[in-house]
Amino acid sequence: MIGLGTLINTGAIIVGGLLGMLIGRALKEKIQDGLIKACGVATMFISIAGALEGMLELTDGQLVSGKGLMIVLCLTIGTLIGELIDLEDGFERFGEWLKKKTGNAKDARFVDAFVTTSLTVCIGAMAIVGSIQDGLLGDYSTLAIKAVLDFIILIVLASSLGKGSIFSAIPVFVIQGGMTLLARFISPIFSDSAISNISMIGSILIFCVGINLVWGKKVRVANMLPALVLAVVFAFLPWF
């Protein structure tokens, strides 16, 4: 059974997206563009903080950075895998299918809005931790907090990118719902170290989403998603 947390999160995305659409219709294109860039800058700064939290630790009263090699290997190998199987193209083809099936064939921004928003709300440790908590303990508090954050994100993105953002509810429902259903089987894999690595690598990927919001599509972020899987693998390697 799909957890209550996933249902709350999915509903928050839909409601936030619809509210964003109403706001967006009242805004001029120039203001919408300004909102996109502002959201991109905010996303980058938040993601930088998340990445540094995983990289820095206090040793003998001094901040020491680490995990640099792991980051390089996760991102390069993960991106290589993603480029070979071309996950970005899969996301875009699904977005194109949704655009046609939902009667939005004339919406030039639909696919970009869907892909950008989906990556923003799906990547991160909260989705994994919250889904497992919901599945094992019936505790949906983490996903409820994520729902509030996603609600705000969708208001901003939907008002500036358009209705494609609302359909990011689909991957959230499928991914988080799937993890909730499989919680008993996957929970041993997601140790504290694995969650920490996912949070750090996920923050870096979200930073790339911010780059795309500010400067247009510069980074094929979906093709970097395998880096998240490698982040879990590295958590079980003793020399990392």
pLDDT in tens, 9-18: 999 999 999 9
Read off the pTM: 0.88
28: buried, middle or exposed (CB in 10 Å: 19+, 13-18, 0-12)?
A: exposed
CA-nearest of 160, 150, 135 to 35 is 160
Q: Which helix (H) or strand (E) holds 192?
A: helix 192-215
What is the chain's mean pLDDT, rounded?
A: 90
If you average pLDDT over residues 207-212, what whole number do you get? 93
For the stretch 182-202, pLDDT in tens is 988 888 888 889 999 999 999
- pLDDT at residue 29, as a whole number: 83
Contact by Cβ (8 Å): 145, 194: no
Mean pLDDT, residues 176-185 taken together: 91
CA–CA separation, 132 and 195 (whole Å): 12
Q: How far apart are CA 182 and CA 176, in angstroms?
A: 10
Q: What is the pLDDT of residue 28?
A: 84
Place of tokens 């290589």: 80
In the DSSP assignment, the letter for residue 216 is S
Residues in the chain: 240
As given in the structure block, the two tokens for residue 3 are 């957890």
pLDDT tens digits, residue range 105-150?
Answer: 889 899 999 999 999 999 888 898 899 999 988 899 999 999 999 9
Residue with tokens 């839909």: 14
Q: In the prediction, which pLDDT does 211 show?
A: 94
